[in-house]
């Protein structure tokens, strides 16, 4: 059986140095881990903790239990709070680093949603979107796998911006093999296919807009060419008469 670990951080800024710490117990049984975090920091970022620690909060009751949460994801959340960084380890299960990053970031994104921390959520959103459009060494995109899509759709609401961003990323970057998996290999939430269709429609509108712009540019270039040609022939005619 795994031993429990107690995790503590020291904040580099003096802003929270005199703040009392909150004891947080994450997970249950062999997957349980304890964390200490500065009260003022966590309450300034998370409305969940601010509400939980407001009112008649006694010194002897400085403990919050989160039995349903994952300790690894929570540790990553605290790293983000204290350092504004999201350190991601190399995977040990044979997955690519990118797919491992997608899983970790998607779980962190959902945790930020649960803890009502919009600042951290925006940071993770940007990291996910940057990953969507990052190319591999062979020039191809590596989009999220089905597990990541499931995590994001099960842990967010219908109007969450990550859903639209995910649908647009697949509409923009997915190759034929990926599309084949989406419709014949994966079993994904129906809402994802709606967002994919919406992203595809937006791509089509943008593509048509670019085509219209190109057509307009060609017409302008053609008109300029006609003017030059007419000017050349008029000049040639005058010279011939003289």
The 3-state secondary structure of 74-110 reads: HHHHHHHHHHCCCCCCCCCCCCCHHHHHHHHHHHHHH
In a domain, 2, yes or no: yes
In a domain, 24, yes or no: yes
Helix axes 118-132, 97-114, angle to 10 degrees: 160
In a domain, 55, yes or no: yes
| Residue 20: per-residue pLDDT | 86
In a domain, 37, yes or no: yes
| Residue 60: per-residue pLDDT | 46
Count CB-CB contacts under 10 A for residue 118.
Answer: 14
Range(s) of the domain holding residue 22: 1-70
Spell out, as residue ranges, where the chain has pLDDT lower than 50.
Answer: 1-12, 60
In a domain, 134, yes or no: no
In a domain, 153, yes or no: no
| Residue 108: per-residue pLDDT | 98
- The reply to whether the predicted model has a pTM over 0.85 is no
Compute the distance between CA of residue 179 and CA of residue 170 in angstroms, rounded to an integer. 8
> Among 116, 109, 91, 199, which residue's Cα sits nearest to residue 151?
109
| Residue 81: per-residue pLDDT | 94
User: In the chain, how many domains are there?
Assistant: 1
Q: Which helix (H) or strand (E) holds 8?
A: strand 5-8
| Residue 63: per-residue pLDDT | 84
Compute the distance between CA of residue 22 and CA of residue 32 in angstroms, rounded to an integer. 16
In a domain, 54, yes or no: yes
- What is the 3 state secondary structure string of 14-73? HHHCCCCEEEEEECCHHHCEEEEEEHHHHHHHCHHHHHHCCCCCCHHHCEEEECCCCHHH
> Among 34, 165, 38, which residue's Cα sits nearest to residue 106?
165
In a domain, 195, yes or no: no
């Amino acid at each position: 059986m795994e031993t429990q670990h107690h995790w503590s951080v020291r904040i580099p800024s003096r802003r929270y140095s005199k703040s009392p710490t909150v004891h947080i117990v994450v997970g249950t049984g062999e997957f349980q881990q304890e964390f200490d975090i500065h009260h003022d920091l966590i309450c300034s970022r998370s409305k969940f903790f601010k509400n939980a620690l407001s009112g008649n909060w006694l010194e002897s009751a400085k403990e919050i239990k989160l039995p349903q949460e994952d300790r690894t994801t929570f540790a990553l959340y605290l790293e983000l709070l204290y350092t504004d960084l999201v350190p991601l380890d190399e995977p040990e299960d044979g997955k690519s680093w990118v797919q491992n990053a997608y899983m970790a970031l998607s779980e962190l994104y959902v945790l930020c949603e649960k803890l009502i921390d919009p600042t951290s959520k925006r940071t993770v959103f940007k990291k996910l979107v940057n990953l969507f459009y990052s190319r591999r060494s062979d020039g191809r995109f590596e989009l999220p796998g089905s597990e990541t899509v499931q995590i994001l759709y099960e842990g967010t609401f219908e109007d969450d911006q990550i859903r639209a961003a995910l649908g647009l990323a697949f509409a923009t970057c997915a190759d034929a093999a990926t599309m084949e998996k989406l419709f014949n290999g994966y079993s994904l939430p129906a809402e994802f296919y709606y967002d994919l269709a919406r992203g595809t429609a937006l791509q089509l509108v943008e593509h048509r807009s670019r085509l219209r712009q190109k057509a307009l540019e060609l017409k302008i270039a053609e008109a300029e060419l006609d003017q030059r040609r007419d000017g050349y022939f008029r000049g040639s005619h005058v010279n011939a008469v003289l």
